[in-house]
Amino acid sequence: MNITVWNEFRHEKENQVVADIYPEGIHGAIAGFLEGEDHVVRTATLDEEEHGLTDEVLNDTDVLVWWGHKAHEEVSEEVAEKVKQRVLDGMGLVVLHSAHFSKVFKKLMGTTCDLKWREADDKERIWVVDPTHPITEGLGEYIDIEKEEMYGEHFDIPAPDELVFVSWFEGGEVFRSGATFKRGRGKIFYFRPGHETYPTYYHEEVQKVIQNGVKWVNNGGTPKNVYGNAQPLEKISEK
């Protein structure tokens, strides 16, 4: 499996707090725990040529992990459309945290993907509501995160194909924080935690979820569908 971890990679350059937490960038941290025997992990970032997502890279990517926050608008329409198309053609997509507002996710969902938020060191408890789902493998009943940004309902997404996690926040909100979608031939997993000023991507259970998510969205080599004008398979009567 070829994985590409995409990161906006701006906060790390502009905010010392973030740089201290993620010295290799958020993409570096995520790539770190995704590496493994059966995986080749690449990273790509906004400020590279074509945001690091050339046709060559995209065509060679089975699963794309996406983190972005403050520079969604700087992702070119062309690249966003290409990524969307690759998902529809079968590439898996893991969308993390503030990437709910990325061009790619919004194009695939068709909604605003808006939500409530607050940076106030809320405790977050992520409850498993679908213990049958492979994405929950190896977890207990919930994941506790001591401090995180809050995301609250209403989360303006289509009803997920599967709702896997629901978050409880100390300040009184809930959030559908783990959700799967199928679009075209591609599988998508949205997972909420991961604000840049917290060390969330070092949390072992968060890592486990992302590892499971990457496995789950990987769709193998599904063939292309056939569309367009089609000959009848059965004889049509004269009328």
According to CB under 8 A, which one of 128, 135, 143, 214 is a site residue for a second copy?
Answer: 128
Contact segment (CB under 8 A) with a second copy among 15-23, 28-36, 55-63, 137-145 equals 137-145
Residue 153 within binding range of a second copy, rule CB under 8 A:
yes
Q: Which is nearer to a second copy, 16 or 132 (CB)?
A: 132
CB crowding 217-232: b at 16 or more within 10 Å, else e = bbbeeeeeeeeeeeee
Name the minimum Å distance from CB 226 to a second copy.
Answer: 6
50 binds a second copy (CB under 8 A): no
Q: Smaller CB distance to a second copy: residue 32 or 129? A: 129
Residue the block writes with tokens 């004269």: 238
Residue 139: how many CB atoms within 10 A of its CB? 17
- Gyration radius of the chain's alpha carbons: 19
- The verdict on 231 binding a second copy (CB under 8 A) reads yes
- Give CA separation, 180 vs 79, 94, 133, 148, 199, in Å: 23, 9, 10, 22, 24
State the nearest-atom distance from the C-beta of 24 to a second copy, in Å.
26
Which range of residues in 5-13, 44-52, 69-77, 169-177 is near a second copy by CB under 8 A?
A: 169-177
Any contact of residue 94 with a second copy (CB under 8 A)?
no
CB burial of residue 234 (10 Å; 0-12, 13-18, 19+): exposed
Residues 6+ apart with CB under 8 A from 195: 97, 98, 119, 148, 149
Q: Which of residues 180-219 bind a second copy (CB under 8 A)?
A: 181-187, 219
Residue 152 CA, distance from chain mean position: 18
If one asks whether residue 149 binds a second copy (CB under 8 A), the answer comes out as: no
Scanning 28-36, 44-52, 70-78, 229-237 for contacts with a second copy by CB under 8 A, the matching segment is 229-237
